Amino acid sequence: MPQADPLPAPRAERAVDTGSAANGLLVDRLADWLMSQALTEDTVENLFVGCCERLLASDIPLGRAHLGYQTLHPLFRSVGLIWRPGEPLNTDEYPHGPRGIGAFRRGPHHYLIRTGLPMLRRRLDDGDPSADFPVVRQLRSEGFTDYLAWFIPFADVRGMDPERADGLIGSWATRRRGGFSDAELRALERIQRRLAVACKVTIQHQVTDNVLEAYLGPHAAARVRRGAIHRGAGEVIHAVLMFSDLRESTALSESMSLDAYLETLNGYFECIADAVMDHGGEVLRFIGDAMLGIFPMDTHRVADPRSCPVHRAACTAALAAVEDARARLEALNARRVEGGLAALGYGMSLHVGDVLFGNIGAARRIEFSVVGPAANRAARIESLCKQLDQPLLVSQEFADIVPGGWAPMGMHRLAGIGQPQAIYAPIAAGPGVDSAGSLARGRRQPGGELREGDEHEHHHHHDREHR
């Protein structure tokens, strides 16, 4: 790798410092704007676009700009932004794993971090043979004349693996004949440091939001950001509750390695949780091999839930999420069977009721979740799925709001609940975990009312109850 001066002095014939080349007043205003934005809750994308547009307005001939940074997110490890004048901002999110690592290792920023250089410049219009990076060759082929890459660390990165170095990487490129002038280079160096300060603050805000949403869900995260962090902070909400449980998980964990079991569990949860979130619900908790989700009803509702459009919408969304989850699980099980593995069994329940949505726990270790009798009942109903050989069971309250398609499964006493509870299953589903068909087709059959003789005793206590 060439060890040339990263910023060689421009040749005399290329010095194009004119009164308009780098408008000092506008650059000063841009620097002030970046510092003021650091005090707001703007996004990195808005900061970057605003910075590039203001540089262009300052007569700095930007034709392309790049920005990249690491983040903390369950789906991706870093973000790359590319700006070109008159075009939408291009955003790439690089997932955890090897994708993109090879290109980064061959690029100028890996070289900068490894060597400790702050900047690197490459002329692209003079036949300079030192096109030592793929991006340099690409930009030269696109007609760019000058390229400046830079790295601003957020911490001491000496001796650190460049792929783990915390900081902001970026580059500027122009198509103007003669490239950037001395004044423009000084202005860019000044602005990129202020851009880094503003971006660092914004990235920290985004990382905080990412972590809160990953571990709490979007609604709970929003409540915590608004200050609901002390124990006991919460409110009573009305919601559809969905409880799901993986069958025979103990036998599964005993029959495979911990890594294989974790992969199985994550595959199961991905089917269920993604379906809930895709249909507007929120995943509140993973409890061992079980999951609790809710579809909250935040708006006003009429007194009778059976005639309330808000209730109907929430229950319909929850039912659609169950259908979606079952379709995903069916596809997952098909892949498992094809690979010589056993299909996964499961149970799900749906119930409607009031819960306390807030912080519970010890003074120094709290959790944002829901508690209350409705949450308990959802878990107890799900525990009947195996006994009744049904993949989905719903309460009387839920079945009344979404009429049609329900077969009565009798009256059942649930642990901790005084009166026997009416339980229903979808008519179209049929028994067993491999049942198919829409859960909402058909109507409740005439004569389907529950009779006293249908009562069943149920003392099975779910070991992941919600107290």
**DSSP secondary structure string, 355-407?**
EEEEEEEETTEEEEEEESHHHHHHHHHHTTHHHHT-SEEEEHHHHHHS-SSEE
Alpha carbon distance 185, 148 (integer Å): 9
Walk along the chain (467 residues) and give the pLDDT tens digit of each residue: 444 444 443 333 344 444 444 467 777 888 888 888 877 878 899 999 999 999 998 889 999 999 999 888 877 888 999 999 999 999 988 887 766 676 777 888 888 888 888 899 998 887 665 567 888 888 998 999 999 999 998 877 666 666 777 888 999 999 999 999 999 999 999 899 899 988 888 888 888 887 877 777 777 777 777 766 666 667 788 889 999 999 888 888 888 888 888 989 999 999 999 999 999 998 888 888 899 999 988 765 567 787 788 888 999 999 999 999 999 999 999 999 998 888 899 999 999 988 887 777 777 777 777 788 888 889 999 988 888 989 999 998 999 888 778 888 888 888 777 788 888 998 864 443 333 333 433 334 333 333 333 343 333 333 333 33
Please choose, from the candidates 112, 141, 107, 110, the residue with its C-alpha nearest in 3D space to the C-alpha of residue 124: 141
- At a CB cut-off of 8 Å and minimum separation 6, what does 169 contact? 66, 67, 68, 69, 109, 112, 149, 150, 151
CA torsion through residues 432, 397, 316, 378, sign: negative
Write out the residue limits of the CATH 3.30.70.1230 domain(s) in the chain: 232-456
215 φ/ψ angles, rounded to the nearest 5 degrees? -95, -20
Q: What is the pLDDT of residue 286?
A: 87
List of E strands, 189-342: 234-246, 282-287, 290-297
C-alpha–C-alpha distance, residues 440 and 269, integer Å: 23
> 163: which 2 tokens?
């792929």
Chain-centroid distance, C-alpha 68: 19
Q: Would you state the pLDDT for residue 465?
A: 36
In the chain, CATH 3.30.450.40 covers 12-215
314 near 301, Cβ under 8 Å? no
The pair of structure tokens assigned to 59 is 């007569």
* CATH architecture of the domain with range 12-215: 2-Layer Sandwich (3.30)
In whole angstroms, what separates CA 244 from the centre of its chain?
21
Instruction: Give the relative orientation of helices 182-216 and 44-57 as an angle to the nearest 10 degrees.
Output: 160
Whole-Å CA distances, 46 to 34, 37, 43, 52: 11, 10, 5, 10
**Nearest-angstrom CA–CA distance, 358 and 230:** 9
Do 308 and 301 contact (CB within 8 A), yes or no? yes
- For 225, half-sphere exposure in the C-beta direction (CA atoms, 13 angstrom radius) is 17
Please spell the DSSP secondary structure of 114-132, one letter per residue: HHT-SEEEEE-SS--S---
Smallest CA-to-CA distance from 234 within 371, 377, 365, 373 is with 371
Which DSSP string do the residues of 85-107 spell out, in sequence order?
Answer: TTSPPEEEEEESSSTTHHHHHTS
Cβ atoms of 98 and 105 closer than 8 Å: no
Query: Span 232-456: which CATH code?
Result: 3.30.70.1230
| H helix or E strand, kind and range, residue 67 | strand 64-70
Count the residues in the chain: 467
Structural tokens at position 155? 């911490």
Q: What's the confidence (pLDDT) of residue 272? A: 94
Give 91's strand partners: 81
Region of 413 (left: φ > 0; alpha: ψ -120 to 50; beta: rest) is beta
Residues 307, 319: Cα–Cα separation, whole Å: 18
